[in-house]
């Protein structure tokens, strides 16, 4: 599709220029090069690569995916080759196919682990933003345990900020009573931006075997069904905080992107939609200009937070 030059889709996250606000979410796009077989991924605004920890992780036992009416439940458990292998092997492969700034998603099981991994990834030239995953629901004692309490969010943010030079975005879990309190703690501790939401906690039971479908019993619930919850939290947090927000959760169309931005998001991440259709992000980006025409929007950044 011909991009009309009257459509300005560019946005800026903490000084990082993106051609458009569409970013594949961590864990739903690997390290990009697998997807580059389907299309030229340089159409994307950026890529948030697969959640990385200090040690290699095999992930959780199978089965770890359950289908739902308007979404899915996954319990992959941060499967990744570990920070050193990511830097030595995955990033060079990614650089060959993707020539734009990238977002590094880092997770951990201790403050020390977050600090060590962030310090290492901060030295990688292509990494423009570090996304601190304090919200993975599928690993015991890691991720979400840091993201459900204001004090621990603040502590991990403070310690990581001491060792990095790149902007730090904190990816928040929706599995809390007060998302605004957590977001404010992250911002006050020095977060440069926020990303929300990670998955809700869900489960399915196989009525024939009378047992949970997922080996881990519960998992992260994502997909179109969670969009209204994600949108509501983006709206609340972008009103309460002054740092940029990346909206994530159930985004699967150009109109979803626009709605998220109107709620206050500067950019959006697309997760589960990529698993259902590898071309999802490409199709969303290609259909944005027509959607902008329909709504008489000439620059996407003009609509950020207009619904407030």
For the CA atoms of the chain, what is the radius of gyration? 18
Interior CA angle at 73 toward 260 and 276, to 5°? Answer: 65
Contact present, 79 and 58 (Cβ < 8 Å): yes
Mean per-residue pLDDT for 111-128? 96
For residue 294, the surrounding DSSP H or E stretch is helix 280-294
d(CA 162, CA 167): 12
pLDDT band at 6 (very low <50, low <70, confident <90, very high): confident
- pLDDT of residue 79 exceeding 60: yes
Per-residue pLDDT at 16 exceeds 80: yes
Q: Taking a C-beta distance cutoff of 8 angstroms, is the pair 234, 196 a contact?
A: yes
- Quote the pLDDT of residue 1: 44
Q: What is the CATH number of the domain that holds 100?
A: 3.20.20.70
In a domain, 21, yes or no: yes
pLDDT at 223 over 80: yes
- What pLDDT does 2 receive? 45
Burial 209-221, CB ≥16 within 10 A → b, else e = eeebbbebebbbb
CB 93 within 8 A of CB 102: no
Per-residue pLDDT band at 136 (split at 50, 70, 90): confident
Residue 228 near residue 195, CB atoms below 8 Å: no
188 found inside a domain: yes
Q: What are phi and psi of 247, to 5 degrees?
A: -90, 135
Q: Is the peptide bond before 288 cis (omega within 30 degrees of 0)?
A: no
Alpha-carbon span 225 to 230, nearest angstrom: 10
Q: Nearest-CA neighbor of 31 among 76, 88, 116, 72?
A: 88
Average confidence score pLDDT of the chain: 94
User: What residue numbers bound the domain in which 248 lies?
Assistant: 11-59+77-199+225-303
| Cross-strand bridge partners of residue 279 | none
pLDDT (0 to 100) of residue 119: 98
The answer to whether residue 217 sits within a structural domain is no
Res. 38: pLDDT tops 90: yes
Catalytic residue among 118, 136, 195, 248: 136
Q: Is the pLDDT assigned to residue 256 strictly greater than 60?
A: yes
Q: Is 87 a domain residue?
A: yes
Coil vs helix vs strand at 199: coil
Domain total in the chain = 1
Q: Does residue 220 sit within a domain?
A: no
- Phi and psi, residue 288, nearest 5°: -60, -45
State how far the Cα of 12 lies from the Cα of 20, in Å rounded to an integer: 9
Rounded Cα–Cα distance for residues 277 and 266 (Å):
24
For 275-284, the pLDDT digits (tens) are: 999 999 999 9
Q: Is the residue at 219 inside a domain?
A: no
Residue 62's beta-bridge partner residues? none
Number of helices (H), then strands (E), in the chain: 10, 15
In a domain, 68, yes or no: no
User: Is-catalytic flag, 149?
Assistant: no
Domain assignment present for residue 39? The answer is yes
CB contact at 8 A, 156 and 146: yes
pLDDT at 143: 63
Confidence band of 3 (pLDDT split at 50, 70, 90): very low
């Amino acid at each position: 599709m011909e991009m009309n030059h009257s459509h300005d889709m560019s946005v800026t996250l903490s000084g990082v220029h993106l051609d458009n606000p569409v970013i594949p979410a961590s864990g739903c796009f690997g390290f990009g090069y697998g997807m580059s077989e389907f299309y030229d991924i340089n159409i994307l605004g950026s890529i948030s690569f697969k959640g990385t920890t200090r040690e290699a992780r095999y992930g959780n036992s199978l089965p770890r995916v359950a289908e739902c009416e308007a979404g899915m439940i996954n319990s992959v458990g941060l499967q990744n080759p570990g920070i050193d292998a990511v830097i030595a092997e995955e990033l060079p492969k990614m650089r060959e196919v993707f020539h734009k700034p990238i977002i590094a998603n880092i997770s951990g099981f201790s403050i020390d682990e977050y600090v060590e991994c962030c310090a290492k990834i901060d030295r990688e030239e292509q990494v423009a933003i570090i996304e601190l995953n304090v919200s993975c629901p599928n690993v015991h004692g890691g991720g979400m345990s840091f993201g459900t309490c204001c004090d621990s969010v603040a502590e991990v943010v403070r310690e990581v900020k001491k060792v990095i030079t790149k902007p730090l975005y904190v990816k928040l879990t929706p599995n809390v009573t007060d998302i605004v309190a957590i977001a404010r703690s992250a911002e006050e501790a020095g977060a440069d931006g926020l990303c929300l939401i990670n998955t809700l906690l869900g489960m399915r039971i196989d009525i024939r075997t009378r047992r949970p479908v997922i080996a881990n019993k519960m998992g992260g619930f994502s997909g179109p069904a969670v969009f209204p919850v994600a949108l509501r939290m983006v709206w609340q947090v972008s009103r309460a905080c002054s740092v940029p927000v990346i909206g994530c959760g159930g985004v699967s169309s150009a109109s979803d992107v626009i709605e998220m931005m109107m709620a206050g998001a500067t950019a959006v991440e697309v997760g589960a939609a990529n698993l259902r259709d590898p071309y999802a992000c490409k199709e969303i980006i290609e259909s944005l200009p027509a959607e902008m025409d329909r709504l008489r929007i000439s620059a996407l950044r003009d609509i950020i937070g207009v619904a407030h």
